[in-house]
Amino acid sequence: MLDRVAEAIKRQDYRGAAKLLKPLIDKDGKNPWVRFYAGRIQEGLGKREAAEKIYLYLLPKTTNPKLIAQIRKGISRLEIAARSQKEQAIADAVTTQGGESLGVLILEPIAPAAKQEAAKAFGKIVNLDAYTARLRLPTRGWRLYRPGKMGELVYYVSRFQQVNIPSFCFPLSQIEAIEVLEVHYFKTLNSQILVRCKSSAGSEGEFSFTWPEVTQRVIGRIPLFESVVVFGARRKLQRKIQKQDSVPFCDLHLPQRNCILRFCDRTYQFQKGVTFATKPTSLPLGERETASKNWHYLTEFLDDTLSKCPVRDDFTIFAETAIDFRETLDRLKSRIDLERRKPSLWDQAFQLYSGLHFWRDR
């Protein structure tokens, strides 16, 4: 009877083979050859996951060399078919409108309790072992997982979402399309707020808006690195790059204007416009004369005024994954102008982080 099943499979008559195999399953369902042919029929019917499950179950439990060879051939066929299907799906996605444009794929945090199962599914999709896949999945903030063509990234996002792995992707062109205004100071705080600012093109002027137009705030600190001389091994002097300071930034998002208002304590002109130090503050008395006091007053004002707006503050977690993608970040204009001896990819990382929130939360 198994010979007849094998002949039916050879003719690709999988339904006929299934009818022939059914009485054998009822009579001797634990027979490894019976189980193998059950998997072979599932494979022929296009039920690859079911076939793979049978093959992987049988392989470590089988001692018959001929059967082991057949199982391994089956697993190899499934791998080749899955790879071919994936490559074709990606190729089709890339040919769609906008599929060729460059974008980034972001993994969102996953609950620690769900991480183990998610890692198995994630590893299968991206061809990683479970341990490495687990390390790739974030549990706290966003992770820049990979750049690439949008068609390919959309394919991966759809696959991730099928297995409950939160993710999204956006083209870099959308990030570039946002107008970023560097705020120099608040001129008035009436029903229409007026700020003095500088545009992305470098021209200075005034911009008016209302508080309800602000949908969220993005905050973060960009580190400043300097070359310093330190004592190394055997008390020898050596030059190292070390973090010396960090600069706070705050972005206000106005999506209806396609605009971000960007505040920075190094470029905000506290001596001009509205003063924020006149109201009571939580800043300790001994710290009120430090260089950061005015920034503290300004952020306290924004905290109070925009208390109902969500605050996105996981920039550092995101940046630590993003700065490894130098070529991608180099494509972005940072819209940040800090005095430093060498440019830093942290500037572009903040631009990307804020821009992704700008589109993601719309």
Q: Residue ranges of the alpha helices (H) in 235-344? A: 293-305, 315-322, 326-330
Q: Strand order in 167-171's β-sheet?
A: 143-149, 102-107, 167-171
Looking at residue 287, what is its pLDDT?
Answer: 47
pLDDT of residue 279: 53
Mean pLDDT by 10 residues, the chain (362 residues): 87 92 87 92 91 93 92 92 84 84 96 94 92 94 96 94 95 95 94 92 94 96 74 67 81 96 92 76 51 86 95 96 94 87 89 96 76
**349: left (phi > 0), else alpha (psi -120 to 50), else beta?**
alpha
pTM for the whole thing? 0.80
| In 202-245, alpha helices (H) | none
Q: Convert the pLDDT of each residue in 230-251 to its tens digit.
A: 666 666 766 666 667 889 999 9
pLDDT at 197: 95
pLDDT of residue 30: 86
- Cα–Cα distance between 144 and 164 in angstroms, integer? 18
